[in-house]
Structure 1
Amino acid sequence: MSSRYLLLLAGLCLPVSLVCAQAPAADDAVRPDRVLLLNLTDTGENLIAVGERGVVLRSPHDAHEWQSVRTSTTRTLAGVAFVNPQRGVAVGHGGTLLRTDDGGLHWQAVETDSGDDALLGVAALGEGRLVAWGAFGLYLLSTDQGQTWQRLSVLGEDFDRHISQVIALANGDWLMVGESGTLARSTDQGEHWQALQSPYQGSLFGALQLKDGGLLIYGMRGNLWYSADGGQTWQQRQTGTTFALNGAVQLRSGRVLLMGNSGLLLASDDQGSSFAGQPSTQASLARALEQNDGTLLAVGDRGILPLTVNARKGQE
């Protein structure tokens, strides 16, 4: 599998040259606006972003200054999650899994049964549990805050589809999306998975549960689907684009933002019933989050990018 396709699954479709670029010297500072970043999280005390060449960027909540942190890998990091402000995990290509116990200042490699298959994401889902996922059905579960990991099968021993995202739902269940329309639910905190009827047979890149309980799943060629009944039935939502949808976030105002390749940004002010195009970000985006002061930050092929889209309809 090409690095280009693995980056597509991690959130961005970018040239292979960006993945294979030479790692910077150990004393080089990484500019936050000149590095490919694929994921971003708020630890409760700091913001942590990860991306190409094993780069980790760390900032206090104001996000005005970013510190580049050297790790033991030059592999692309695609996912990051924290169980508390000090303990977190980052994952990436080549089965890379790193753990920190000091809020992201230092990272140690953790041995797992992943072989060389890429890990494309990780999530902290409560009670000290983390799950990491990736290519060819790779799925790892930790119940001790990321210290040890167990490899589990998903949807049978023959399942070999790439997993794109796992999220926790409000009722305690977990939802999984992935390649070839993969859609599944776990009712026992990720130990076992049951397939759901998928409305789309192409690759799904992410999922979001809205404040009213509705579910959005999204992926290739602008495909977006909505469920009001916990994923039992789905209705397609029109996006007006064929660009890939990489990430979604709901703001405290209720506004829903979808982001994608080639500067694509869509907004909904009716709980996902309809979406309208927003001014282009001029960058392909993977993830975004809203800070306590309402500031929106995204990561993508231009590093850290503040978003100027306002939180409410009528303020553009």
Structure 2
Amino acid sequence: MSIATLFKSPLLSGVGLMLGAGLVIASVASQSPVDALREADTRPALEAAHASHAAMLAVAQAGQRLVSVGEHGLILFSEDQGQTWQQAKVPVSVTLTAVSFANALQGWAAGHYGLILHTEDGGQSWTVQMDGQRAANLVLKEAEVRAEGTDDRQLKRALFSAKRLVADGPDKPFLDIHFRNAREGLAVGAYGLILATVDGGNRWMPLNYNMANSGERHLYSIAEANGYLYIAGEEGLLFRSQPGNDWHFDRLKTPYDGSFFTLSAAGEQLVAAGLKGNAFRSLDGGDSWQTLDLPSDASVVDSILGANGDLLLVNQAGQLLQGNVATAAVRVLPSQPVAAPTAVLRTGQNSLLLSGLRGLAQVLVPSVQVLSN
């Protein structure tokens, strides 16, 4: 099982991973009997005690506010740079894997059951904007239109896959979401699931036919720089949006055929990293790639790349790795390892916020110079 699958799967609800996590859910008696019997995609998130120690999978900045999403539909926000956290009102109880804000108020979160949530108040309350069944039906409708009146084997195969997607039900998770502004956004996930919107999420359109991912490989991470969108996935998949055509993607050649779990971009510089500590840099917008020599073979789970090329990586072992893409040298920072980290966010000149399977942690690292992208 890949590290991304481990972090973003229902297995997180297992007893083993939750031991020591400090997650205590308030009594189910606080819910009505009807709510308690609902499926997770329609059951509101329960109030959590010690919520900041729960399994959290992603973090984002919303103006001066910090927002984190995680297991059981838990969304937390902080008004004081992570000193204290409040729980948001969330209409679902599924695992949420990613969060993105276009500005201080407009944000989106995505996760299991093909769910995409939206907030208009900086993360305090959320509504469902997309679910897995609707997403599958969008893919099927597009496949039917393209396959009608043709004997093209690839289109027929895509139609078969789309029908299977609908028959499976809303079980495919989104693994990342990115909004470049309050209207244009992109969500990617398991089995090549990819949707885009140009109206703030009121309508979504499938982009499966706009990239060469016929094997329906998982898509894990989105980055943007210089007006280009980049997407990373399993089996060395890397895509870049076409010039002047944001929703069509060209596949980039990479020297690696394993999974990329994180992708960062700044100007012409890119870093893709993932399984077993494999990491690569590009200084020309993804046209060519060189190996980054990491001091650990632990899988990399998140990254931040600054405009000056300064790089920060966090790996499954809880280590923080710092370097610069110009020199390709990366070192382990002398900080206390964070248990089972999932994401990192720069919150100040020398401070970081890390989410993980044991909650949220602030880390002070005097030498950190990178900027969040």
Q: Which residue of 1 aligns with 2:147?
A: none
Write the letter of the residue equivalent to 2:364: T
* Maintained 8 Å contact 1:174/1:189: no
CA distance in 1, matches of 2:14, 2:245: 36
Instruction: State the Cα distance separating 1:201 from its structure 2 match.
Output: 0.1
* Range that drifts further, 233-242 or 290-299: 290-299
Gap change, CA 1:22 and 1:73, over 3 Å in 2? farther
Instruction: State the Cα distance separating 1:4 from its structure 2 match.
Output: 7.6
Matches within 5 A, 1:43-58: 43-58=62-77
Query: What SS is found at the alignment partner of 2:84?
Result: coil
Instruction: State the Cα distance separating 1:189 from its structure 2 match.
Output: 5.4
Task: Select the residue among 241, 250, 262 that pairs with 1:194.
Answer: 250
Query: What SS is found at the alignment partner of 1:181?
Result: coil
CA distance in 2, matches of 1:201, 1:16: 30
Task: Select the residue among 212, 220, 225 that pairs with 2:280.
Answer: 225
CA distance in 2, matches of 1:234, 1:121: 23
Matches within 5 A, 1:227-266: 227-250=282-305, 255-266=310-321
Instruction: State the Cα distance separating 1:24 from its structure 2 match.
Output: 4.4
The RMSD of aligned alpha carbons is 2.8
Write the letter of the residue equivalent to 2:5: L
CA distance in 2, matches of 1:38, 1:220: 17
Matches within 5 A, 1:72-111: 72-111=91-130
Indicate yes or no: 2:256 matched with 1:206.
no
Matches within 5 A, 1:34-49: 34-49=53-68
Query: What SS is found at the alignment partner of 2:276?
Result: helix
CA distance in 2, matches of 1:4, 1:285: 11
Instruction: State the Cα distance separating 1:311 from its structure 2 match.
Output: 3.0
Gap change, CA 1:300 and 1:312, over 3 Å in 2? closer
Q: Which residue of 2 aligns with 1:113?
A: 135
How many residues matched? 308
Write out per-residue CA displacement over residues 42-84 of structure 1, whole angstroms, 9 at most, x where no aligned residue: 0113111000111000111432110012311111100011122
Write the letter of the residue equivalent to 2:172: D
Instruction: State the Cα distance separating 1:297 from its structure 2 match.
Output: 1.0
* Maintained 8 Å contact 1:83/1:145: no
CA distance in 1, matches of 2:249, 2:63: 30
Q: Which residue of 2 aligns with 1:308?
A: 364
Gap change, CA 1:120 and 1:157, over 3 Å in 2? closer
CA distance in 1, matches of 2:176, 2:123: 17
Write the letter of the residue equivalent to 1:6: T
Instruction: State the Cα distance separating 1:7 from its structure 2 match.
Output: 3.5
Q: TM-score, normalised by structure 1?
A: 0.87
Write the letter of the residue equivalent to 2:128: A
User: Which structure has the highest helix share of the two?
Assistant: 2
Indicate yes or no: 2:257 matched with 1:215.
no
Gap change, CA 1:148 and 1:199, over 3 Å in 2? same
* Maintained 8 Å contact 2:75/2:87: yes
Q: Which residue of 1 aligns with 2:237?
A: 182
* Maintained 8 Å contact 1:54/1:70: no
CA distance in 2, matches of 1:175, 1:252: 16
CA distance in 2, matches of 1:210, 1:271: 13
Instruction: State the Cα distance separating 1:159 from its structure 2 match.
Output: 3.9
Write out per-residue CA displacement over residues 113-150 of structure 1, whole angstroms, 9 at most, x where no aligned residue: 14421111101123621111100000010111222211
CA distance in 2, matches of 1:143, 1:168: 16
Write the letter of the residue equivalent to 1:98: L
Q: 5+ residue gaps in structure 2?
A: 31-45, 137-169
Write out per-residue CA displacement over residues 170-213 of structure 1, whole angstroms, 9 at most, x where no aligned residue: 2x1111110111011112454111111121100011111246x3
CA distance in 1, matches of 2:223, 2:250: 15
Instruction: State the Cα distance separating 1:262 from its structure 2 match.
Output: 2.0
Write the letter of the residue equivalent to 2:57: L
CA distance in 2, matches of 1:283, 1:291: 19
Q: 5+ residue gaps in structure 1?
A: none
Indicate yes or no: 2:338 matched with 1:276.
no
Q: Which has more radius of gyration?
A: 2
CA distance in 2, matches of 1:261, 1:47: 23
